[in-house]
Amino acid sequence: MKNKFVPGLRPAVLAVRRFLGTASVFLYSFLLMGTWTVAQAQSAGVIVVGNDRGGFIRARLNELHEIRERGQRVEIRGKVCFSTCTMYLGLDDVCVSPDTTFGFHGPAMAIGRLTPAQFDYTSRVIASHYPPPVAAWYLEDGRNRISGLYRMKGENLIRLGVAQCDVMNNSR
């Protein structure tokens, strides 16, 4: 006896199979990725920052909070660390390469100008994530550059008290 399908049932069955197959791949990937992320977070004691041109303040604040919660060390070793990347400098366990170029600028919005109160508040939030000598300089001068960057080498930050990363074994 031949198998006879209800018209339209075969395409529907195939569609369900494809959906379940794809869904199981995504589910497996999601679970694997979640496991990988947890494993990474547990074993990752050191974050090495390569070239980082910055980003949004809120996203960086969230990242800094997570780094503090996990007690991770941050080593800034890339050629550049611009904008919100410089906020790593205020972490408890951070070091910098003397050759890295750091770029500082005042707060700005992509969609328009900040009011003076917003500018002052956001400047102080940023400065609170710097070591005291860098924060003082930033509030006095650094935040006043909105277009372009104040550039500073890691060697200058080291002179201001930021730890230098060890060249030999990627630690202090």
SS (H, E, C) 12-47: HHHHHHHHHHHHHHHHHHHHHHHHHHHHHHHHCCEE
The average pLDDT across 15-32 equals 38
Same domain, 13 and 49: no
Within this chain, do residues 39 and 58 fall inside the same structural domain, yes or no? no
How confident is the model at residue 113, as a pLDDT? 83
Give the pLDDT confidence of 48-105 residue by residue, as tens digits: 998 989 888 999 999 999 999 999 999 999 999 999 999 999 999 999 999 999 999 9
Per-residue pLDDT, 143: 93
CB distance 22 to 50 below 8 Å: no
Residue 7: predicted pLDDT: 54
Q: 17: domain range?
A: 1-43
Residue at 132 is within a domain: yes
Average pLDDT, the chain: 78
Determine the average pLDDT of the residues in 9-19.
Answer: 47
3-state secondary structure at position 139: helix
pLDDT tens per residue across span 88-97: 999 999 999 9
Predicted confidence at residue 167, as pLDDT, reads 78
**Whether 58 and 35 share a structural domain:** no
11 within some domain? yes
Instruction: Say how far apart CA 165 and CA 157 lie, in whole Å.
Output: 12
Q: Does residue 20 belong to any structural domain of this protein?
A: yes
